[in-house]
Every structure is written in structure tokens, then in C-alpha cells.
Structure 1
Amino acid sequence: MPLALLALAVGAFGIGTTEFVMMGLLPNVADDLDISIPVAGHLVSAYALGVVIGAPLLAAVTAKLPRRRVLIGLMVLFVVGNALSAAAPDYHLLMAARFLSGLPHGAFFGVGAVVATGLVAPERKARSVSLMFLGLTVANIVGVPVATAMGQQLGWRATFLAVSAIGLAAIAALALLVPADHAHGDAAGLRGELRALRSVPVWLALGTTVAGFGALFSAYSYITPMLTDTAGYAESSVTLLLALFGVGATAGNLLGGRLADHSLRGTLFGGLISLAVVLGFFPLLMTAAWSAALGVVLLGMAAFTTGSPLQLMVMEKAAAAPSLASSANQGAFNLANAGGAWIGGLALAAGFGTT
């Protein structure tokens, strides 16, 4: 595989770390800022809403620029947003900084997916996208647990400074490893990208992303209190359990990419059915420590089996103009993130408990 995929994976690693680490730090942030855990959960939604807005907006604004330059610029914005998160003195400014951090997320994965598939043969497109997403899933094995432990020991602000440093490393990798390209698209090309978003099959694909991952995030956004309050784990054990989620997600991502190159529709159907089954049994799995650990692995594997296939499906439905639709799918992922976290927070506030 081309080394440029490694650069994309480094950027994905940083983005995955900052996206998911807030779930592990919710109790710490809530205590430090004197807010409840459900209110702190809205910080997850703020990041996700930044993705939803930033994905199509930044993809459209940068439609005529060289893709390597776009990717580097998006990571610069990522670094700024995370540095501001570390410096935020109160809840409202942290909310704004998290929103800013989310703005480049969708466009990075959207443009990155187009770059990744352009580097390989047609029969390896799904695997190329899964290798970029590998950075996202490995973040759940290494980045999120380490960042969570850092936040618990040094304070949550140190976590966002470390994430900013990862962003700087990604900028260097993109500049060195991604091939230079010419400006892509023109006014007509941008209109073509916008026309692709009016396609019913594209919207059906985006809706599939929202529904599937909305179900995931309604549970995963509150995984820390589930594990501590229901399954009986100590807070210090959450780091390892988040790593287990990452192991499952990485396995599912690689499996989904390989299977989707043979049967895209079959992989999506099987992955979504598996996710529904795991979520259906999740309350039962949370009743004991050993089964909770198993449930976390299965949740990550089932969800991320569908990640790269969903991305590729949207790109195929908008084949003539994939960049904006690909970025919009990342917005759909994070609309699911925001909606799932919000619905989960409502359930907690209503007294239903974490399971």
C-alpha cells in the first residue's frame, strides 16, 4: 500500500483520539467545571455538530484547491481547536472550542477517502479506505486510553495539548508523503458536487449512516458510567476497556474493508444486523464484569465493520462527484454521534439509568 495512506492514518489517529477521548473524560470534566455528567455529555454533541456543519461547508469551500493543501489546512484548524480546548476556562468556551475542533473532521475524512481510493487499483478501494480509518480505530486502542489516563493523572487539559501535538505530526506526514496534486474541480465541478447531494440514493446511504451509528453512540457516549456504575469496574480500569473497544473496532474495520471489496451490500447488511444484536443484548452484558468486557469488544467490532463500506457506498452513489458526498457522510457519522449522545443524555436525565 502507498505510504500516503500512512499519512492519512496519522491524521485519522489524531482525529479519532480527540473525538472519542471525551467519553472517557466526562467525569473529570464534569467535576472540574462543576457540571453534571449529562451536561458534560453535550460536549460530545458540540464536537459532532462541528463535524456536521464543517464537513459539507469546508469541502465546498475548498473544492477548487489541491487536495494535499486542503488536508494540511484542515489539520492546522484541528490543532488550533484542540489548543483552544486545553485553554478553555469554562464550560461554554470549552463547548465552542470543541465545536471548532470538529469542523475539519468530516472534510478530512471525505477528501482523504477520495485521495486514498485514487492511490490504489479499483478492486482495493474499500481496503484503502479501511487503512485510512485504521488510524481512527487504533486511536481507540492506543490514543484514547493513553489520553484518558493522561487526563485522569495530569488533568483533562493536558490531553488536548497532547492531541494538538499529534496534529502537528500529521501535518508533517501529509506534507512529506502525500503526492502533490493540481487544483481539482472548477465552478462546474462544484455544481456537480452539489447536484450529487440531490440524489435520492446518496441520501438513503447517508440515512443508513445516521441510523446505524446513532444507535452506537446512544450507548458508547456514556460507556464510562456504564462500566463503573453498572458493571462495577473502577475508574482506573476504564482505560483498558476503552482499548478493548478499539481492538474490536480495528478488527471490524479491517474485516469490513476486505469483505466490502467482494460484496459491499452484503457486508453492510451483515454489519448492521450484528450491531443491532449486540446493542439488544448490551444491558444484559453490562450486568457482570467479564461480559461487559466482551460486550465492549463486540460493540466496537460490529459498528466498525460498516465504517469503510458506508463511506465507499456514498462515494459510489455519487460517483461523478464524490468529494462533497464523501465529506457529507462524515457529517452523517457525527450527526449520529450528536443525536445518539443527546438521546442517551435525555434517557439519563429522565432517570432510566445507563442501561
Structure 2
Amino acid sequence: MPLPLYLLAVAVFAMGTSEFMLAGLVPDIASDLDVSVGTAGTLTSAFAAGMIVGAPLVAALARDWPVRGSLLAFVATFAAAHAVGAVTTSFPVLFASRVVAALANAGFLAVALTAAAALVPPDRKGRALAVLLSGTTVATVAGVPAGAALGALSGWRATFWAVAVLCLPAALGVVRGLPARLAGADTAGRPALRAELAQLKRPRLALVMLLGALVNAATFASFTFLAPVVTDTAGLGDLWIPAALVLFGAGSFLGVTLAGRLSDRRPHLVVAVGGPSALIGWPALALLADRPPALLALVFVLGALSFALGGTLITRVLYEAAGAPTMAGSYATAALNAGAAVGPLAAGATLGGPAGELGPLWTSGFLVLVTLLVAYPLRAALTGGRADEALR
């Protein structure tokens, strides 16, 4: 894989750390800015909403910009938003900075996905996407726990500053690593924006996006509420929460890496094996969560299965959106973040039910079941070929 892909992954690592780090900082932010914990929690929703709306919007605005210049502008804006967040004493300003950061993150990821596809041969998009998404998985393994530790030692503002500083090597990598022009991202002869947006009317593209969103919803439904399962159901101490998150992140890194080698030519194999396995795995975790060894082992396995499935399906979005060369990355980004926003909402609604803190795990299992039911009539699109079935 080309070196610029790994440099882009550094930026994705910084942005992934920011996206997930608030889970451990919300109480301190609420106390410092004199708002309720529930109000402080809306910062997560603001970021997710900004990602969903921002991906297609910012990608459309930036489609006439040079790729390298666009990516550098997004990284700089992301860093500036965190610097503002680190110094403000106003919750509305902090809220606005999270929206701006999300827009920059969405724009960067949308353009980076398109750039990644342009840096490799057409039949290696899956492997390129795996390298790019490894930045997110490494963020869950190292970035988020490190951010939580820094926040505990030095306050939440230090974590915001750390993310801003982490953007500097990412920006340098963009400037030094990416060519001024990408042959595969040349604007000459590209479709008009209206034609690229019209690709969304294709049922197969829309359904693959839906599948990617559903898998990501299942992933974040449980990931978001894993802490009370670790402490309350399994009876482990608070220090086991970051340990469980690291295991999930390590599994996700393994899953996205292995699936990257299959998602170009044999995506149906990943779905055929990973889908039913996840369908069994999430209920198994709910049933065995009171047994710490089983809990920790399943967290690792489900991290691998979830990201293998999600990475493969998002790769299919890039293939199915080949007729939208400047917007395909934004479609993939929007699908991912729609799932990340909907999953925790659906899971949170179950916390007051009879399953209690195990409700999110059952929610994840249900969402995987829905994914497989939707995927069945779409199976021709998951063969990696160009079969023109009724869903074309």
C-alpha cells in the first residue's frame, strides 16, 4: 500500500480519538461548565449529526478543490476547533466547536476515502479502506484510553489540546506525503454534481449504504454502553472498563485488517461468515456477561466481527458509487455515522426495560438480524462482481 495512505490514517487516528473520547470526559465537562450531565452528553449527538450532514455537504463544496489542499484545510479546521474548545468557558461555544470539528472530520474522511481509492488500482479499494480505517481502530485501542487517562490527570481541556497537537504531524503528512494531483481523482471528465447525487437513486447503492449503517448501529449500540456491563453485570472494577475497550479496539483492528484482504474479491465470504457469527455473538455476550473471562473474550471477537463486516460493506459502497467519483467517500461516511448515531439511541431506549444494562447487547443482535434479512436479496451485489440483478 502507498505511504500516503498511512499518513492519512494518522489524521483519521486523531479524529477518531476525538470522536470517541467524550465518553470519559462528559462528567468533568458538565461540572466545569456548570451544566447537567445530560446537557453535556449532547456534545456527542452534535458531533454525530455534524458528521452525517457534513459528509455530503462538505464533499460537494470541496469537489472543485485540489485534494491535498482540501485535506490540509480540513485538518487545520479540526485542530482550530479543538483549540477553541480547550479554552472556552461557554458551553454553547464548546457545542459549536464540536459541530465545526464534525464538519471538518466528515469532509476529511469523505475526501480521504476518495483519495485512498485513487491511490491504488481499482481492484484494491478494500485494502486501501482497511488501511484508512485502521486509524479509527487504533484510536479505540490507544487514543481513547490515553485521552481518558490524560483527562483524569490534567482535566478535560488537556485532552482537547492533545488532539489539536496530534493534528500537526497529520497535517505534515498530508503536505509531504500526498502528490499535488492524484491521477484517479482528476476532475477532468468527471460527472456533474447532479449526476453524482443521482447515483443515490440506484437501489443497490442505497441498500448497501443501509447495510453499512445497520452494522455500524449494531456496533455502537453496545460499544457506547459497554462500561456498565463490565462493572455492574460482570462485577469488575472501573479499571477494567478501559481494558475492555482496548480489547474491543484490538479486535476491530484485526477484523478490519483481515477483511481488507477479502473485501475486494470475496466480500460475500466475509458477510456469510461474519454476519451469522455476530448474530450468535451478541446474544451470547448478553447471556455470559456475568462471567468475566467469557465477557472479555467475546468483546474481542465481536470487535473483530463488527469491523470486518462494517469495513467490507463500506467498501461495497465505494464500488457501487463508482459513478460518483467525488461523492462516493461522503456516501460511505454518511452511512457509517448514521449507524453511529442511531445505534446508541436505540440501545439507550432499552436501558429502562427488563434487560437493564444488557438491553444494548440484545439490540445489537437484533440489528445484525435485520442486516442479514436485508442483505439476502442483495447477495448478488456482495459477490464482488458486476451482476445486473433486479436491484441494479
Q: Same fold (TM over 0.5)?
A: yes
Q: Which moved more, 1:162-171 or 1:100-109?
A: 100-109
Residue 327 to residue 270, structure 1, CA distance change in 2 (3 Å):
farther
Q: Distance in 2 between matches of 1:103 and 1:87?
A: 20
Match of 1:285? Answer: 288
Q: Distance in 1 between matches of 2:38 and 2:345?
A: 9
Residue 16 to residue 29, structure 1, CA distance change in 2 (3 Å):
same
Deviations 1:131-180 (A, max 9, x none): 11111111111111111111122112211111111122211110000111
Residue 258 of structure 2 corresponds to residue 248 of structure 1: no
Q: Distance in 2 between matches of 1:245 and 1:165?
A: 26
Q: Distance in 2 between matches of 1:306 and 1:18?
A: 23
Q: Distance in 1 between matches of 2:75 and 2:96?
A: 18
Residue 124 to residue 137, structure 1, CA distance change in 2 (3 Å):
same
CA contact (8 A) 1:63 1:186 kept: no
Report the CA distance between 1:349 and its aligned residue. 5.6
Residue 107 of structure 2 corresponds to residue 107 of structure 1: yes
Q: Distance in 2 between matches of 1:187 and 1:322?
A: 7
Q: CA RMSD in A?
A: 2.4
Amino acid corresponding to residue 227 of structure 2 in structure 1: T
Match of 1:87? Answer: 87
Residues 271-350 of structure 1 aligned to structure 2 (within 5 Å): 271-348=274-351
Deviations 1:170-201 (A, max 9, x none): 11110000111176268953222212222221
Deviations 1:98-119 (A, max 9, x none): 2222112233222212212222
Report the CA distance between 1:58 and its aligned residue. 0.4
Match of 1:230? Answer: 233
CA contact (8 A) 1:259 1:267 kept: yes
Counterpart secondary structure, 1:259? coil
CA contact (8 A) 2:112 2:329 kept: no
Residue 195 of structure 2 corresponds to residue 192 of structure 1: yes
Match of 1:52? Answer: 52
Counterpart secondary structure, 2:239? helix
Amino acid corresponding to residue 83 of structure 1 in structure 2: A
Report the CA distance between 1:326 and its aligned residue. 2.2
Q: Distance in 2 between matches of 1:276 and 1:88?
A: 44
Q: Distance in 2 between matches of 1:325 and 1:138?
A: 24
Residue 190 to residue 99, structure 1, CA distance change in 2 (3 Å):
same
CA contact (8 A) 1:88 1:97 kept: no
Amino acid corresponding to residue 50 of structure 2 in structure 1: G
Report the CA distance between 1:56 and its aligned residue. 0.2
Q: Which moved more, 1:33-42 or 1:70-79?
A: 33-42
Amino acid corresponding to residue 75 of structure 1 in structure 2: V
Counterpart secondary structure, 2:261? helix
CA contact (8 A) 2:215 2:310 kept: no
CA contact (8 A) 1:52 1:328 kept: no
Residue 129 of structure 2 corresponds to residue 132 of structure 1: no
Q: Distance in 1 between matches of 2:204 and 2:242?
A: 40
Deviations 1:309-336 (A, max 9, x none): 2222111111121331321221121111
Match of 2:379? Answer: none
Report the CA distance between 1:265 and its aligned residue. 2.7
Q: Which moved more, 1:317-326 or 1:55-64?
A: 317-326
- Percent of aligned positions with the same letter in both sequences? 34
TM normalised by structure 2 equals 0.83
Deviations 1:270-289 (A, max 9, x none): 33333332222232232132
Deviations 1:3-61 (A, max 9, x none): 11121111111111111222333454455556666655433222111100110000000
Instruction: State which of 220, 224, 232 in structure 1 corresponds to 2:223.
Output: 220
Counterpart secondary structure, 1:322? coil
Amino acid corresponding to residue 7 of structure 1 in structure 2: L
How many corresponding residue pairs?
355
